[in-house]
Chains A and B, each alone.
Chain A
Amino acid sequence: MSVAKRIVIEPVTRVEGHGKVTILLDENKKVIQARLHVVEFRGFERFIQGRPFWEVPVLVQRLCGICPVSHHLAAAKAMDRIVGGENLTPTAEKMRRLMHYGQMYQSHALHFFHLASPDLLFGFDADVAIRNVIGVAGKFPDLAVQAVLMRKYGQEIIKATAGKKIHGTGAIPGGVNKNLSIAERDVFLKDVEQHLAWAKSAVKIAKDYTVQNLAMLAPFGSFESNHMSLVRGDGAMDLYHGNLRAIDAQGETIFDQVDYQHYVDFIAEEVRDWSYMKFPFIRSIGPEKGWYRVGPLARLNTATFIDTPLAEAERKEFRAVTAGKPNNITMAYHWSRMIELLHSMEKIQELLNDKDLQGTDLVVKGERREVGIGLIEAPRGTLFHHYKVDKNDLVTQANLIVSTTNNNEPMNRAVAKVAQDHLQGVEITEGLLNHVEVAIRAYDPCLSCATHALGQMPMEMTVLDQEGQILDQKSRG
């Protein structure tokens, strides 16, 4: 009988099972499986059922303190369908886009500078006591200040377009409830050039790091995969709206220009008994090989081009690294994320100079429907909102596929690859934990649909055998 062992890496927070990693070894201490356990928000359907549909774009923001704008806009897009108002006025669409690019800008800045850059600036194996935002602030104070101000700029755009910093109400079924005043616009225009310069320098940091360390990064947590995102009708990257495109690891089209109202014909979700989080896959390929990546890396791979000049030039350099083929390097997420950050800033500049933002035609309505599906390219990847609404305007059914769920299988694969390459024996070393962290962080998973009260517990790592006996245990934090 083989004696398999499980190694569990568990960050314990007040919310039970916030996330943990289990690595299964065979009798020869070889990694045969890795599982990333993520507890998604629970009880969402119960929470949303019976609510009037027009409340949903506000309510769903309570799912997540990290990407409330993405949920707000995806829900609003779904409710546009319910009221027959999906053909938004120019002012409404551009206000929503500005909100979305503001969200993308601040989210990508936060992730790169405050979560990822410590890994890159100090090295994967640096002490966690140094490898953090405080360490960056100490050693690279100008960079840290810049990052805080980039984040703040995006947050202020969200506040101006959504109406409030949290629980924004800007997007409503069929449109928006405010435009952007000249005074608000001028506040943002004043700093646009500075932020463009910072965005360009951020791309350079990520690019230089990736290119200079390509030999080390290329195999790190990497594997071939399918990629999926929304793209515009002409194939351009479009983070707010478009049709679904999926390609395989070689760049061959799996499907293209799929109207996401029919996504259920193309995407299915597999349930596995060990995880609360489902595993989406492309129906035509099946669960075994049909899983895919979403997010910045996938979007850089699926898009034919980017319609802003600075980001497009960077995209071409990015694609040249893999000779035009899809880039399957997990750590290239960071570079692709910064190209999107630059693209978002270019879009913000473009929108701020568009007089439609001062328009007063804000809402449209049309033929009432009972099903509404809204998709958006959130910072972490494609976000699906799907609702059924009855004749009394109450939500009867809801299904969400969040970006992190779309990346579920790839994150598991990344952990497995890192464990195979870096686990020695059965002991959880600091090095193993560091490398697993770095690989997961590349995906920028949103595990924060949780609480953050005073009294947070440290990360805990446990080694268990097949019978559940603890062989090793470490904590960090």
Chain B
Amino acid sequence: MNRRIQRILLYGFGNPARGDDGLGPALAAAIEELDIPDLAVDANYQLTVEDAAEIAGYDAVVFADAATQGPTPFWFSRVDDTAVKRVGNTIGSIGWTSHSVSPAQVVALARDLFASKVAAYALGIRGYKFGDLDEALSLRAMDNLSYAVTFARRALVERQFEHYVQEFGHPAAG
């Protein structure tokens, strides 16, 4: 079955003033300029609970973010929300002070609160320089971003996401 996924959201997140943490929004900005049909693009500093309401309206969502680990220049994996159960799994826990949630948590909230069946994927772009206030990406991250944009453009047009998971998946992701 290769039905073309109709409604897709690309959601880049990260803080552009934190060095390579800005990789997600940078990718979102680059893809938005391509004006790909049937593709919505959004970006924010981080994921928060109300994003569950937004992604619930799509068939598929691709979260793009900087990655601290995993293959270079990027990896592409399915977001496994099944690990986030309503009760009884620590992946579902929210940090003691953090106001952000993970892609899996957002998808789980969309599932539990809005009966969403959105298919969710994560595009992790390898970054290296995080922490201090700095608007510039590192040179290596910029290289990785250019590969990731080329990949994302193809993926968001062709929409064979499961195939890309096989090709670019990262076992520790999701």
Contacts and interface: CB of A to CB of B under 8 A. Distances in A.
Interface string A439-464: 01100011110111111100100000
Interface residues of B, number: 59
A149 B114 CA distance: 11
Contacts of A84: none
A147 B84 CA distance: 19
B66 A453 contact: yes
B88 interface: yes
Nearest to B96: A437
Contacts of B87: 129-130, 134-135, 138-139
A217 interface: no
A48 to B, nearest CB: 9
Interface in B43-66: 43-50, 52-53, 65-66
A431 interface: no
Contacts of A14: 68, 130-131
Contact of A147 (B49, B105, B132): B49
A128 B21 CA distance: 28
Contacts of B108: 134, 137
Contacts of A151: 48-50
A46 to B, nearest CB: 7
Interface stretch (A26-34, A63-71, A187-195, A197-205): A63-71
Given A141-B113, A148-B53, A447-B97, A133 B105 contact: yes
B112 A452 contact: no
Interface residues of A, number: 64
A96 B149 CA distance: 37
A66 B100 CA distance: 9
B132 A137 contact: no
A289 interface: no
Interface in A30-76: 41-44, 46-47, 59, 62-66, 68
Contact of B45 (A41, A128, A141, A166): A166
Contacts of B96: 11, 437, 440-441, 459
The 3 closest A-B pairs by CB, nearest first: A65-B45, A138-B86, A62-B17
Given A62-B17, A133-B92, 4 more contacts: A47-B17, A148-B49, A448-B97, A450-B18
14 contacts: A14-B130, A19-B97, A43-B134, A115-B94, A129-B92, A134-B87, A135-B92, A138-B86, A149-B50, A149-B53, A441-B96, A452-B15, A452-B100, A454-B103
Interface of A: 11, 14-16, 19, 41-44, 46-47, 59, 62-66, 68, 106, 110-111, 114-115, 118, 127-135, 137-139, 141, 144-145, 147-149, 151-152, 155, 165-166, 437, 440-441, 445-448, 450-456, 459, 476-477
